[in-house]
Chain A
Amino acid sequence: MTSTIRSAEGYQRPDYATAAAGTARRTGGAGQLHSFLRTTAVSAAGLAVFFAAWELAALQLPSSRLVSPQATLADLIRNFVFAPRLQVFGLGRVGYGSLLLYTVRNTVLGLVAGGFVGILLGLTSARLRLLRIFVDPLVLVLGTVPVLVAAPLFLLWFGVVPFTQVLLVAFYSAVMLTLFSQRAAENLDPLYERWATTFGAGLDVRIRNVLLPGTLPEILGGIRITLASAWGLETFAEILGAPSGIGQAIKALTNMNNVSGLLACVALVAISAILTDLLLLAVAGRIMRWA
């Protein structure tokens, strides 16, 4: 069935574009279920292969090198609320859960702060030539500073406080998202901004109403890549020196040669990364209903 749209001239004409979308929606119930089941099955197969390989490898190797997925899960559950062995390393009465919360908080804070600065700087510098000339060399120089150098420096400058890790994540997130945003702004059809200027829109209005929403689909890709890197940065910064965090647990468990604990912590970070990415996609899907 083709939908019709009444025109100004009073006749109804078929609107094939809308009709096509409507057909997709109508067949969506069964189609979406089929697609979901297929995706889930493929994902489950991938995970099954991964866990089978892990299990097989654990059977071949001594438990001091690798433990099975079940043993890892058991360690995770046992130590989630309270991990007594971590007390020895001065982490207090903590479990993996509370340490993970510290890591999640810092990662998200760093990404939000760095993202705000990076996106704003990227979009603005993409349109202000002088700012671009000023920003580009800075971003290139700062972006090439290895994290192995920046992290100890930040630790020396700001001390063993949460701010140090947040700043490290924010710093690299800002650099990455400046570049992603600049590229996104360059790829946006200039016609939209030209049209906005004919309505009297200045740069601030154009950034808010044209550049930001128009580049969001492309910037989102950058945010996802930055978020994935942010987990690694935060954990690394915590290993180097932090009052809490899953990185501190990893450091302590490495010293104890506790393989099951180490794998449990890595699994927790991986699960957190996947969940935040899914959350980000859900929020983005809501914001970008127009796309």
Chain B
Amino acid sequence: MTTPVISVRHLTQTFTRTDGGRVLALDDVSLDIPAGEFACILGRSGHGKTTLLNAIAGLLPVGEGDIRALDRPVTGPGTDRGVIFQKDAVFPWMRVEDNVAFGLKVRGIDRTGRMRIAREHLASVGLEAVSRAWPRELSGGMRARVAIAAVFANDPPILLADEPFGALDYVTRRQLQAVLRELWQRTGKTVLFVTHDVEEALLLGTRVIVVSHGAIAEDRAVDLPVPRTDDDLATPQGLALKHLLLHHMGLE
């Protein structure tokens, strides 16, 4: 058996509230994500999915348990795990192309090289025309594209996305889902994608993991064609899966 790209073993995360109360965010979670998978973590707000993603990203100190990425223990953030946040994290003080090239600059790649890579990735998300613009001149959807281009330009083998399209309107969200799916198919990266949207999980994921009350309530492969259309979700298989997920979300 090949080593999983992401491996979580018996992860338990607790937080202390300001009033002194203890919150169990993750309760003995274990999962393996093999290379090239597009795994969607689905769940309701406050049930631990973002905590799980942040722990894997190294943005939270691991409580109890063990997390490994590319067979190395996760002790902090690393360039092997690119992260796209829900909130707009694009630096307002850098031009679009400098934002995309930031990771490459940190890695010490010379300006000519990093700008070439940045422009290639901006083209891949349809933003080559605004490479010299300031982020404030772009719409929310365009800034989300910049974030995607920045992460892909840095070429991490793992992509972690925390509800990256949650704040966008329906049309923009669908466009960006298509952009991300295309980039994933082209690059073969391992993606862990947090969402609370059942339809989004079914459209994008090759696997859906439902997190409920800090534990894994469901872990299903999505055996539907890739890329996927709304018609694929309307097949008996797609509908059965959708009902199962809606049930876990407490909606059926």
Contact = CB atoms under 8 A, between A and B. Distances in A.
A213 interface: yes
Interface stretch (B5-13, B17-25, B88-96): B88-96
Interface string A265-291: 000000000000000000000001111
Contacts of B82: 198-199
B116 interface: no
Nearest to B140: A17
A288 B145 CA distance: 23
Given A15-B139, A18-B137, A199-B154, A209 B102 contact: yes
A7 B102 CA distance: 23
A209 B105 CA distance: 10
B77 A197 contact: yes
Contacts of B134: 289-290
Interface-centre pick from A16, A198, A288 (highest chain B CB count, 10 A): A198
Interface stretch (B26-34, B65-73, B124-132, B211-219): B124-132
Interface stretch (A83-91, A115-123, A128-136, A187-195): A187-195
Contacts of A15: 138-139, 142
Contact of B92 (A7, A199, A205, A290): A290
A201 B106 contact: yes
Contacts of A5: 129-130, 139, 142
Contacts of B178: 8-9
A216 B92 CA distance: 12
B49 interface: no
Nearest to B79: A200
Contact of B59 (A9, A192, A194, A205): A194
B44 to A, nearest CB: 23
B190 to A, nearest CB: 15
Interface in A1-25: 5-9, 15-18, 21
B102 A200 contact: no
Nearest to A289: B134
A214 interface: yes
Interface residues of A, number: 31
B154 A192 contact: no
Contact of B91 (A9, A21, A198, A214): A214
A21 B76 CA distance: 40
B89 A210 contact: no
B175 A9 contact: yes
Nearest to A193: B89
Contacts of B119: none
B52 interface: no
Contact of B81 (A198, A216, A288, A290): A198
Given A9-B175, A17-B138, A200 B93 contact: no
A155 interface: no
Nearest to B127: A8
B130 A194 contact: no
A219 to B, nearest CB: 13
A52 B52 CA distance: 70
A194 B76 CA distance: 11
A290 B134 CA distance: 6
Nearest to A216: B93
Contacts of A21: 137
Given A8-B175, A17-B138, A195 B126 contact: no
B188 to A, nearest CB: 20
A196 interface: yes
A287 to B, nearest CB: 9
Contact of A200 (B78, B89, B125, B145): B78
Given A5-B129, A8-B127, 17 more contacts: A5-B130, A7-B126, A8-B126, A8-B175, A9-B126, A17-B139, A18-B138, A195-B91, A197-B76, A198-B57, A198-B59, A198-B79, A199-B154, A200-B107, A205-B106, A209-B94, A290-B94
12 contacts: A8-B126, A8-B178, A18-B137, A195-B91, A196-B102, A197-B76, A198-B82, A200-B77, A214-B91, A216-B93, A290-B93, A290-B134
Interface of A: 5-9, 15-18, 21, 189, 191-192, 194-201, 205, 209-210, 213-214, 216, 288-291
Interface of B: 57, 59, 76-79, 81-83, 85, 87, 89, 91-95, 102-103, 105-107, 125-127, 129-130, 134-139, 142, 145, 150, 154, 175, 178-179
